[in-house]
Amino acid sequence: MITRRRFLQNLGLSAAVLPFLPAMPSLLAGEAGKPAQRIIFMFSPNGTVQPDFWPDKFGAEFELKRILQPLAPFRNRMMMLKGISNKVRGDGDGHMRGMSCLLTGIELFPGNIQGGSDKPAGWASGISIDQEIKNFLQKNPATATRFGSLEVGVAVPNRADPWTRWSYAGPNQPLSPTSDPYDLFEKLYGQMKDSESLGSVLDDVTDDLKTVSKKLNPEERALLDKHATFVREMEKELQMAAARKLRFPAPVLEQGVSTDNDGMPKVSGMQTDLLVNAFANDLARVATLDFTNSVGQARMRWLGIEEGHHGLSHEPDSNTAAQEKLVKINTWFAEQLASLAKKLESIPEPGGDGSMLDHTTIVWTNELGKGNSHSHDNIPFLFLGGGLNFKMGTASKFENIAHNRLWVTVAQAFGHNLETFGNKDLSSGGALALS
């Protein structure tokens, strides 16, 4: 019996190319007339300076403190949530649980990774909310995309541990962020180049099929016709994929940019360019964007700060010089968020329904509420953008509720009717009223 694989290999298509083919239809998934819903989870580490982050008044009249001033143009498209806490306990130190339980909402497995003074631990024991939403969208041909989700990093250390991972495909399955923009470019657009080469191969195959068909008996010709139909279907998919990718050509990256500490400002711009372009071309609708990692020790010399971020975050509140530097650092993260939002706002949504920002929600958060106390209470949660029908232009205050309920709320906004997420006991109370 001649299998499709053997048949195509005999015609010169390598086994390495074949796995790419079944995934190609997802490039074209979309729902006519209905704007996409997208979400980006953005991480910055080591807590915030709470007096310069949280507003004095809540509700629609909230005012932006110093750290959030770069987001002033988007004030009416923001939602701040105070009083939401990571209540997951168990093994691992505060930074480990802060990072690897942030999107998963569930305990770490026992393990041998030793943190500060707490028990050693392993990876998270459940899926993260970004991957839960991705899987939900990928099950529907109308919302499936080529990649489903993108895990993007800026200066994330080249090591694997619970301090550097917050996205999980499932229990014990941490996902590594791509922190090199040149690697991310190749991931996004390298296979599209392969599809162009494959298209030229299929042209040759079609001509060969016509020649071979004349020499076959009826039974053999019927088998050949099945393969010819498969080739024609692939041709259609390639044509549609080419049309889609041409909507927004791949960005041109500056070459030779360092991906180490001092390259962070440029890498941040490159990574957000690639992320926005991927969303614009509907290669993914879910993403995580990690700035360094839990216990991140970035030295932001471009801000005139020589000390490491984590070290500064452990200074007491009475050290006013350190607090001022922390305000500068967190303001810089707010500037990166503002830049990402501006890029999304600059691109019209297909069909003329506003901009991409109108249908993309960015969630900026942190593994700690306050660095020098390792507190998991009052974790900064700031939503910016639209598309999930949340009430924007407001700041809300809750009474120390588990962040599991927030992720249930986000999932339900996508139409994914979860009742609990992560640790079920911490999901008690269900979704929050954010609409």
pLDDT for the residue 112? 94
Mean predicted confidence (pLDDT) in 189-218: 63
- Domain annotation for the chain: domains and CATH numbers: 1-30+190-243 (no CATH), 31-180+259-427 (3.40.720.10)
CA distance 177 to 96: 17
Task: Say whether pLDDT at 49 is over 50.
Answer: yes
Mean predicted confidence (pLDDT) in 138-159: 96
Q: Of 76-80, 101-105, 148-152, 217-221, which range is least confident?
A: 217-221
| Per-residue pLDDT reduced to its tens digit, 5-33 | 444 444 443 333 333 333 333 333 344 45
The CA distances from residue 91 to 144, 167, 374, 404, in Å, are: 36, 18, 15, 18
Mean predicted confidence (pLDDT) in 69-90: 98
Within 8 A by CB and 6+ apart from 65, the residues are 51, 52, 53, 54, 55
For 292-416, where are the alpha helices, taking DSSP H only?
309-313, 320-345, 403-413
Task: Say whether pLDDT at 369 is over 50.
Answer: yes
Distance from the Cα of residue 315 to its chain's centroid: 31
Mean predicted confidence (pLDDT) in 313-319: 97
SS3 for 362?
strand
Mean predicted confidence (pLDDT) in 160-183: 97
CA distance 381 to 300: 23
Quick check: 118 and 128 in contact, CB under 8 A?
Answer: no
Residue 289: beta bridge partners?
A: 42, 152
- pTM of this structure: 0.83
pLDDT, averaged across the chain: 88
Query: Strand 38-43's sheet: what is its strand order?
Result: 148-154, 284-291, 38-43, 360-365, 381-385, 78-85, 394-402
pLDDT for the residue 193? 52
Q: In the chain, what's the furthest Cα-to-Cα distance? A: 90
Q: Which one has a higher pLDDT value, 318 or 116?
A: 318
Q: Where are the beta strands (DSSP E) in 15-77?
A: 38-43
| Per-residue pLDDT reduced to its tens digit, 156-167 | 999 999 999 999
pLDDT for the residue 7? 44
Mean predicted confidence (pLDDT) in 307-313: 97
pLDDT for the residue 137? 98
| Per-residue pLDDT reduced to its tens digit, 214-269 | 777 777 777 777 766 766 666 655 555 554 544 789 999 999 999 999 999 999 99
pLDDT for the residue 21? 36
Mean predicted confidence (pLDDT) in 175-184: 98
Cβ of 25: how many Cβ atoms within 10 Å? 17
Mean predicted confidence (pLDDT) in 418-426: 97
CA distance 51 to 285: 34
pLDDT for the residue 203? 58
Task: Say whether pLDDT at 384 is over 50.
Answer: yes
Mean predicted confidence (pLDDT) in 262-277: 98
Mean predicted confidence (pLDDT) in 282-306: 97
Task: Say whether pLDDT at 184 is over 50.
Answer: yes
